[in-house]
Structure 1
Amino acid sequence: MDLVPVLDLKQGQVIRGIAGQREHYHANTSRLVKSADPVDTCQALKQAFRPHWMYIADLDAIENGEVQYAVLNSLVQCGVPLAVDAGVASIERAQRLIDLGVSKVIIGLETLPHLELLGKFTSALGPDRIIFSLDLRDGEPIGVAADGMHPNQVVSIGLDQGIRQLIVLELSRIGTSRGVPTGPLCHSIKNRRADLVVWTGGGVRQLADLHRLQLCRLDGVMVASSLHDGQITPADWQSFETLDVDETLLAMDA
């Protein structure tokens, strides 16, 4: 299971997410880096955790459509593959991000006009380039495309539209250190489609949370605050990376 560090960007800074309430977000503080500069933060996370991916949320783009292309270009140069949510609702914006060097474009349910667009993205850019983000608040899908659907209904439509990579994101738990509630949902999704790549995020507190999520057969977990606050250390992650599922069970029992 991959550790996927998260950078939330707003007006050229890394900011600290709190329960998805963006009006209360503030510049990030960290034990790993002295500033909230995106490149400095990316380099610090790269050095400390050696991640295979980083997740970038461009909140300016998500909230008002103003993509921070210059910042994203600088982050691409850091050398870690990026999965970027920039409020994408058109093929043109997705293609521009790919041309910039972004490895995977995230299509967020929050900003998607209708679910049938997912098929156009996967057809035009290929399923390996597209990650669909099932954005939840208190377990309920958000955005006009969801239209009161159950999360499993949304996932089913995504699969029919060619989605092969999925994020299950609980916005209400971001930055709260209250634990990750999405494990059972992710486990049920993986049971339906074992070949579906599934990440989750929102509420990761400490190493024990990673152990529990490992048992859900997840492919990645997205983490921000607990890395910056030292609740999950580089040594923690290095030890976790070497465990298989049986060893994870023993670690939890201990």
Structure 2
Amino acid sequence: MQVIPVMDLLAGQVVRAVRGDRSAYRPVRSELCDGSEPLVVARALLDLTASETLYIADLDALNGGALQTGVLAALLSALPQTTIWLDGGFRGAREFAALARSLGTAAQRVTPVFGSESLASADAARACFIDPQRAILSLDRRGDQLLDPAACWASDALWPDRVIVMTLERVGAFAGPDLETFAAIRRRAPRASLIGAGGIRDEADLAAAAAAGADAWLVASALHDRRLIPQASSR
């Protein structure tokens, strides 16, 4: 099971997720490092997990503001071996294309995550996944509510090769992963690479997620609290 470390960025700082309630996010306090400066936190997470991938949620953009392009560019420059999966609140492919142009060649190491909560329409979703290997779809939900103006949850024919199943109310909640929803998506997409998000507390949760069909899981809080120390770690 691959553990992919997560950073939520708000106003240039790494913040701690609280049940997907972004108004409650505050600068992270981590047992892995001091402070909430993005590069310091990123290096601590990557070192702990021995991951070559870092997931970033740009909360400024997700809340309707501008992408934190300067922070992203600095991370790409300082971490040349790292691929960043970026959820930048993209409403469609053109928004990511504009970001890629601003980043230059470093954009090759940025994989766009198109969240169902952000995609503007079904047509926009189809345009994002013309190349099914390039982009990632995040199927977002909060409780029983599907966050999905583009009807991505129902349109499995457009799903790309990699799909995130994001249960927002379990992010940062230590409530355990939503394995029932995850298993249902696995049945609908038996050949996709499926990544879960939310709820992981420990190794037992990771094992249960793998049994439900997960190829990887996005994790932050359990890493910062040292509840989970992946076996691949050098520590």
Instruction: Name the one with the larger helix percent.
Output: 1
- Any idea what SS the aligned residue of 1:177 has? coil
Contact 1:2–1:52, Cα closer than 8 Å, also in 2: no
1:188 to 2:184 alignment: yes
Structure 2 match to 1:211: 207
Amino acid of the residue matched to residue 231 of structure 1?
R
Amino acid of the residue matched to residue 35 of structure 2?
S
Structure 2 match to 1:166: 163
State the distance in 1 between where 2:207 and 2:122 align: 33
- Any idea what SS the aligned residue of 2:14 has? strand
Amino acid of the residue matched to residue 122 of structure 2?
L
1:129 to 2:134 alignment: yes
Displacement of 1:92 in angstroms is: 2.3
Contact 1:167–1:200, Cα closer than 8 Å, also in 2: yes
State the distance in 2 between where 1:118 and 1:219 align: 23
Displacement of 1:156 in angstroms is: 4.3
Aligned residues: 226
1:116-172 deviations in Å (ceiling 9; x for gaps): 31211122xx222211111110143114334xxxxxxx4441x32252211111111
State the distance in 2 between where 1:206 and 1:23 align: 26
State the distance in 2 between where 1:135 and 1:188 align: 14
- Between 137-146 and 43-52, the greater mean CA deviation after superposition: 137-146
Alignment map for 1:50-61 (pairs within 5 Å): 50-61=50-61
Structure 2 match to 1:247: none
- Any idea what SS the aligned residue of 1:117 has? helix
State the distance in 2 between where 1:219 and 1:54 align: 16
State the distance in 2 between where 1:92 and 1:199 align: 25
The runs of at least 4 consecutive aligned structure 1 residues that moved more than 6 Å come to none
- Any idea what SS the aligned residue of 2:57 has? strand
Structure 2 match to 1:110: 117
Contact 1:108–1:134, Cα closer than 8 Å, also in 2: yes
Amino acid of the residue matched to residue 160 of structure 2?
I
Contact 1:84–1:104, Cα closer than 8 Å, also in 2: yes
- Any idea what SS the aligned residue of 1:71 has? helix
- Any idea what SS the aligned residue of 1:168 has? strand
State the distance in 2 between where 1:97 and 1:80 align: 18
Structure 2 match to 1:27: 27
Displacement of 1:28 in angstroms is: 0.3
1:64 to 2:42 alignment: no
Identity over aligned residues, as a percent? Answer: 30
- Any idea what SS the aligned residue of 1:169 has? strand
Structure 1 match to 2:220: 224
- Any idea what SS the aligned residue of 1:110 has? coil
Alignment map for 1:54-93 (pairs within 5 Å): 54-77=54-77, 78=79, 79-93=81-95
1:145 to 2:141 alignment: no
Amino acid of the residue matched to residue 116 of structure 1?
D
State the distance in 1 between where 2:57 and 2:70 align: 14
Contact 2:50–2:232, Cα closer than 8 Å, also in 1: no
Q: Which has the higher contact order (CA 8 A, sep 6+)?
A: 2
Displacement of 1:215 in angstroms is: 0.6
State the distance in 1 between where 2:40 and 2:231 align: 21
Amino acid of the residue matched to residue 144 of structure 1?
P
Structure 2 match to 1:246: none
Displacement of 1:76 in angstroms is: 1.8
Contact 1:8–1:58, Cα closer than 8 Å, also in 2: yes
- Any idea what SS the aligned residue of 1:129 has? coil
- Any idea what SS the aligned residue of 2:90 has? coil
Structure 2 match to 1:243: none
CA RMSD of aligned residues (A): 1.7
